[in-house]
């Protein structure tokens, strides 16, 4: 993060659900039990040698604690049941309850998971917490489609919900700081060209993530934005959150190549990624993985400020050999100075 | 004002209403098309669909994004719901084809699927929408019961994408001639080929042109 060259490029294939397969528990168990989640992640780090972990479980954690119905498939990612949305009308935004993340079901498990990870490996590895952006959290309770229409038709009502969720997320940040995270990953997927205009995002989510970011920085922690949308908006995310790092799966439109990305944004923020989860990590061979890693290391690593990682969560059901291949690629091609 | 002029005015109202996501304007114009005895089919194609074509271009050039397109879709459906029951198909070109569409089991992301469905409907396909989180056997059953030309599968996650491969095997087992089209964030043309699909759609606009090609190929068999 200091934009200096260390001995080699750091590498972290960021696993959530994939870690469960090292320990050998089901996804449903991993997602709901802090001890099993921590044991899974500790074994993931032991198997792969990953330099960093993020205690991300899945995207429905915050929403579940508001009362959104969530299903827990045995071997698949937990997800909101949109047939039964918690927010059924725009009047419901203002009625969201005040909840305490230290005491609610899923967030308290997530916090305990973070605490266990910091205790176990916090001195040797970077342990990052996670929060889902306030607008995205609302989407888990309303469905993205209806939320977007609400943003267009009744933005004031959505803002009422955003304020309530932000107050909770500020508290959630405090709780993660208390447990020793060195940084927090904040997911702001909607700040991308695959979702909405910069203008709409700045109006709807910008002010709230700015406050959350100030809280995180105020506590001395780093911010890593995760945005796996097409054409992520670097400019407004940096303007509002001043992150130390941005993790992406796709290049922003203004940077058609990795070299362009390094040139345009590489000195302003640590770049994290960008190995394609589906085509390479899920469908590819270990050689495909190494090839992709080599290309990105050569373009993005010189001068430091690059963390080689999966573009999004390491696919939960991908071959674990591909995670190991990423670490091997960092060793083989990522020794500084980069050739 | 002459009849043609009046019709053109109504077509322009519907087209611009879709582009500007002005649902009221579209509905008023669509109702007038019906009340004043104009051709509802032409109203759909030269009014609503023409508007949606411009919306597609605005989306491709990143002037419009998902929220705007959803608003345009609502405006379009406002008009379609009024015009469709009044379309006289006698003498028209045959319906383009029947499509079964859905999001694969385990996945609930359906905005893309809904936009593709709308494009198919506007283009004249008959669409059977199974929704999201659809078991593979439901796709098979729906294809058989509707005798659809095409089955369009969508998935947003790598975990559910593998369900597409299984669905293709089962669908082709029951009906080797059915055309299968894939779409969704983790899917690529290469993956679609690997899974044995007949087509792949990168976005909602090219889903329709892919589908038209597929049905054309089917009709030649």
pLDDT tens readout for residues B133-157: 999 999 999 999 999 999 999 988 8
Overall average pLDDT of the A90-101 stretch: 98
Q: Which of B33, B53, B86 is the last residue of a domain?
A: B86
How close B6 gets to chain A, by Cα (Å)? 31
Burial category of B219 from C-beta neighbours within 10 Å (exposed 0-12, middle 13-18, buried 19 and up): exposed
Count of residues in chain A: 339
| Residue among A333, A328, A309 nearest A18 (CA) | A309
- Cβ count near B185 (within 10 Å): 22
Q: Which of residues 248-287 of A touch B (CB under 8 A)?
A: 253, 277-279, 282-283
Token reading at A65 = 């604690």
What is the total count of domains within chain B?
2
| Residue among B164, B64, B47, B43 nearest B115 (CA) | B64
Question: Looking at the predicted structure, is the pLDDT value of residue A16 above 50?
Answer: yes
- Cβ count near B216 (within 10 Å): 11
What CA–CA distance (Å, rounded) separates B70 from B211? 22
B106 and B215 belong to one structural domain: yes
Count Cβ–Cβ pairs < 8 Å, chain A vs chain B: 72
- Cβ-Cβ contacts under 8 Å, B194 against chain A: 283
Q: State whether residue B24 sits within 8 Å of chain A by CB.
A: no
Q: State whether residue B158 sits within 8 Å of chain A by CB.
A: yes
What CA–CA distance (Å, rounded) separates B13 from A251? 39
Question: Looking at the predicted structure, is the pLDDT value of residue A164 above 80?
Answer: yes
Q: Which of B86, B114, B135 is the last residue of a domain?
A: B86
B134 and B160 belong to one structural domain: yes
Domain presence at residue B52: yes
B71 and B108 belong to one structural domain: no
Q: If pLDDT is split at 50, 70 and 90, which confidence band does A219 have?
A: very high
| Residue among B58, B68, B75, B61 nearest B15 (CA) | B75
pLDDT of chain B along its 221 residues, tens only?
A: 449 999 999 999 999 999 999 999 999 999 999 999 999 989 998 999 899 889 988 988 889 999 999 999 999 999 999 998 998 766 555 557 889 999 999 887 888 888 888 888 877 788 999 999 999 999 999 999 999 999 999 988 887 888 999 999 999 999 999 999 999 878 888 899 999 999 988 777 677 777 777 766 766 66
What CA–CA distance (Å, rounded) separates B188 from B206? 14
Q: Which of residues 106-135 of A touch B (CB under 8 A)?
A: none
Instruction: Check which CATH number belongs to the domain holding B50 and give it.
Output: 1.10.1240.10
Domain presence at residue B92: no
pLDDT in tens, A49-92: 999 999 999 999 999 999 999 999 999 999 999 999 999 999 99
Token reading at B211 = 């589908």
What CA–CA distance (Å, rounded) separates B104 from A277? 19
Overall average pLDDT of the A132-140 stretch: 97
Contact B111 A144 (CB under 8 A): yes
B52 and B112 belong to one structural domain: no
Phi, psi (5° rounding) for residue A204?
A: -90, -50
Which of A145, A151, A231 has its CB closest to that of B111? A145
- Cβ-Cβ contacts under 8 Å, B59 against chain A: none
pLDDT confidence of residue A339: 77
B56 and B108 belong to one structural domain: no
Q: How far is CA A42 from CA A90, A110, A324, in A?
A: 42, 15, 15
- Cβ-Cβ contacts under 8 Å, B162 against chain A: 317
B7 and B107 belong to one structural domain: no
pLDDT confidence of residue B91: 56
Strands A70-71, A79-80: pairing kind: antiparallel
Tell me the pTM.
Answer: 0.91
Mean predicted lDDT score pLDDT of chain A: 96
Contact B188 A148 (CB under 8 A): no
| Residue among A252, A255, A251, A272 nearest A263 (CA) | A255
Q: Which residues contact A210 (CB under 8 A, 6 or more apart)?
A: A240, A241
Q: Which of B37, B53, B86 is the last residue of a domain?
A: B86
pLDDT confidence of residue B1: 47
Q: Which domains does chain A have, with CATH numbers?
A: 11-333 (3.20.20.210)
Percent of chain A, pLDDT > 90? 95
Q: Residue B155 in 3-state DSSP?
A: coil
What CA–CA distance (Å, rounded) separates B83 from B80? 5
Nearest CA in chain B to A71: B106
pLDDT confidence of residue B221: 60
Domain presence at residue B13: yes
Domain presence at residue B34: yes
Nearest CA in chain A to B160: A76
B116 and B162 belong to one structural domain: yes
Nearest CA in chain B to A282: B158
pLDDT confidence of residue B89: 67
Each as own residue / partner, the long-range contacts of residues B202-207 (CB below 8 Å, 24 or more positions apart, any chain) are: B203/B60, B204/B56, B204/B112, B204/B115, B204/B116, B204/B118, B204/B119, B205/B56, B205/B59, B205/B60, B205/B119, B207/B116, B207/B119, B207/B120, B207/B152, B207/B181, B207/B183
- Cβ-Cβ contacts under 8 Å, A150 against chain B: none
Q: State whether residue B189 sits within 8 Å of chain A by CB.
A: no
Burial category of B160 from C-beta neighbours within 10 Å (exposed 0-12, middle 13-18, buried 19 and up): buried
Q: If pLDDT is split at 50, 70 and 90, which confidence band does A247 have?
A: very high
pLDDT confidence of residue B131: 94
Domain presence at residue B135: yes
- Cβ-Cβ contacts under 8 Å, B21 against chain A: 152
How close B216 gets to chain A, by Cα (Å)? 30
Q: If pLDDT is split at 50, 70 and 90, which confidence band does A154 have?
A: very high
Q: Which residues contact B173 (CB under 8 A, 6 or more apart)?
A: none
Contact B74 A149 (CB under 8 A): yes
Total H helices, total E strands in chain B: 10, 5
B24 and B80 belong to one structural domain: yes
Q: State whether residue B212 sits within 8 Å of chain A by CB.
A: no
Q: The domain containing residue B109 runs over which residues?
A: 98-220
Contact B71 A318 (CB under 8 A): no
Domain presence at residue B91: no
What CA–CA distance (Å, rounded) separates B172 from B190? 19
B103 and B79 belong to one structural domain: no
Domain presence at residue B161: yes
Q: Which residues contact A27 (CB under 8 A, 6 or more apart)?
A: A17, A20, A72, A73, A74, A75, A76, A77, A78, A316
Residues A134, A164: contact at Cβ < 8 Å? no
- Cβ-Cβ contacts under 8 Å, B186 against chain A: 277-279, 282
Domain presence at residue B206: yes
Contact B71 A144 (CB under 8 A): no
Which of B65, B109, B158 has its CB closest to that of A317? B158
pLDDT confidence of residue A318: 95
B124 and B81 belong to one structural domain: no
B115 and B214 belong to one structural domain: yes
Instruction: Check which CATH number belongs to the domain holding B179 and give it.
Output: 3.40.50.280
> H/E element holding B128?
strand B126-129
> H/E element holding A327?
helix A320-333
Q: State whether residue A195 sits within 8 Å of chain B by CB.
A: yes
Sign for the CA dihedral angle at B85, B88, B93, B98 comes to: positive
Contact A193 B65 (CB under 8 A): yes
B201 and B121 belong to one structural domain: yes
Contact B67 A149 (CB under 8 A): yes
How close B182 gets to chain A, by Cα (Å)? 15
Count of residues in chain B: 221
């Amino acid at each position: 993060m200091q934009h200096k060259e260390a001995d080699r490029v750091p590498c972290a294939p960021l696993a959530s659900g994939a870690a469960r397969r090292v320990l050998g528990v089901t996804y449903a168990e991993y997602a709901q039990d802090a001890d099993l989640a921590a044991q899974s992640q500790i074994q993931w780090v032991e198997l792969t040698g990953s330099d960093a972990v993020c205690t991300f479980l899945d995207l429905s954690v915050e929403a579940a604690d508001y009362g959104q119905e969530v299903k827990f498939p045995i071997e698949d990612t937990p997800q909101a049941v949109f047939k039964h949305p918690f927010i059924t009308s725009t009047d419901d935004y203002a009625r969201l309850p005040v909840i305490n993340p230290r005491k609610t079901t899923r967030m308290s498990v997530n916090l305990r998971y973070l605490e266990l990870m910091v205790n176990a490996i916090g001195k040797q590895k970077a342990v990052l917490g996670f929060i889902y952006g306030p607008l995205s959290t609302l989407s888990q309770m309303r469905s993205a489609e209806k939320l977007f229409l609400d943003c267009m038709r009744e933005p004031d009502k959505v803002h009422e919900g955003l304020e309530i969720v932000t107050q909770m997320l500020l508290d959630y940040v405090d709780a993660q700081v208390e447990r020793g995270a060195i940084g927090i990953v904040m997911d702001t997927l909607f700040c991308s060209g695959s979702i909405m205009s910069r203008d709409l995002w700045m109006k709807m989510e910008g002010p709230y993530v700015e406050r959350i970011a100030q809280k995180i920085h105020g506590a001395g922690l780093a911010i890593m934005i995760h945005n796996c949308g097409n054409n992520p908006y670097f400019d407004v995310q940096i303007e509002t959150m001043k992150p130390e790092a941005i993790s992406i799966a796709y290049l922003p439109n203004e940077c058609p190549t990795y070299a362009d990305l390094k040139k345009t944004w590489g000195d302003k923020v640590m770049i994290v990624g960008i190995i394609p989860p589906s085509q390479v990590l899920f469908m590819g061979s270990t050689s495909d993985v190494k090839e992709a890693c080599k290309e990105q290391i050569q373009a993005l690593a010189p001068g430091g400020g690059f963390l080689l990682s999966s573009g999004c969560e390491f696919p939960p059901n991908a071959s674990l050999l591909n995670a190991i291949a990423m670490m091997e690629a960092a060793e083989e091609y990522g020794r500084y100075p980069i050739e | 004002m002459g009849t043609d002029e009046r019709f053109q005015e109504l077509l322009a109202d519907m087209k611009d209403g879709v582009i500007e996501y002005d649902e009221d304007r579209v509905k008023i114009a669509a109702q007038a098309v019906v009340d004043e005895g104009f051709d509802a089919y032409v109203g759909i194609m030269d009014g609503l669909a023409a508007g949606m074509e411009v919306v597609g271009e605005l989306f491709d050039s990143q002037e419009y994004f998902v929220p705007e397109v959803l608003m345009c879709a609502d405006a379009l459906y406002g008009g379609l719901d009024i015009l469709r029951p009044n379309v006289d198909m006698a003498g028209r070109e045959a319906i383009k084809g029947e499509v079964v569409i859905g999001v694969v089991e385990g996945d609930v992301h359906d905005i893309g699927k809904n936009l593709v469905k709308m494009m198919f409907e506007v283009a004249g396909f008959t669409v059977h929408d199974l929704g999201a989180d659809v078991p593979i056997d439901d796709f098979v059953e729906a294809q058989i019961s509707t005798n659809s030309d095409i089955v369009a599968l969508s998935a947003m996650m790598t975990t559910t994408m593998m369900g597409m491969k299984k669905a293709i095997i089962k669908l082709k087992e029951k009906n080797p001639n059915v055309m299968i089209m894939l779409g969704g964030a983790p899917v690529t043309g290469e993956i679609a080929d690997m899974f044995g699909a007949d087509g792949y759609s990168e976005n909602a606009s090219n889903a329709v042109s892919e589908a038209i090609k597929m049905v054309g190929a089917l009709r030649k068999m």
